[in-house]
Structure 1
Amino acid sequence: MDSALEDRLIALESRLAHHERMADEMSDVLTDQQRAIDLLTARIRRLQDRLKDVELGADRSPQDDKPPPHY
């Protein structure tokens, strides 16, 4: 095999290996990001539920906020 052709083949193999490693690393990053998104989505849902509960409790009358009798 010609030396120049062999050098080109080695360079291409090196670049391919580099791109495969980058693709694996990006896949890991995307997996981590999806886990974080799922966690944050679940937290937002829980906060929305809690906020809804608080808002439903806001319909109380002002008499419900009277101080206790010992004041």
Structure 2
Amino acid sequence: MESLEARVVDLEVKTAFQEDLLETLNNIVTRQAQQLDLLQKQIKALYQQMQSHGQGGSDGNPRHEIPPHY
């Protein structure tokens, strides 16, 4: 049977690895949340740009748009 000291050392090592893993995962989740926020802002800006473009005299119907070769 292992000595008590060896078991405690083993538990301390495992705890240290788990703390490092949790910190790494926390950093990843935080970075992904920031990326999602940025993507949502970009989508909102694109949506607003599309809305304002659609109100510039065109009703969104492609028949009323002038083809690019004219």
Q: TM-score range by the shorter chain?
A: 0.7 to 0.9
**Structure 1 outlier segments of 4+, above 3 Å:** none
Q: Which residue of 2 aligns with 1:41?
A: 40
Q: Which residue of 2 aligns with 1:27?
A: 26
Q: Please list, as runs of the form range in 1=range in 2, the aligned pairs for 1:4-19 lying within 5 A after superposition.
A: 4-19=3-18
Spell out, residue by residue over 1:10-61, the C-alpha distance to the aligned partner (whole angstroms, 9 max, x if none).
110000000000011111111111110111010000000011112223239x
Scaled by the length of structure 1, the TM-score of the pair is 0.74
Scaled by the length of structure 2, the TM-score of the pair is 0.75
Q: Which residue of 2 aligns with 1:69?
A: none
Which structure dedicates a bigger proportion of its chain to helix?
1
**Higher relative contact order structure (alpha carbons within 8 Å, sequence separation ≥ 6):** 2
Q: Which amino acid aligns with 1:8?
A: R
Q: Which of structures 1 and 2 has the bigger CA Rg?
A: 1
Aligned length: 61
% identity of equivalent residues = 27
Measure how far apart 1:4 and its partner are: 1.4
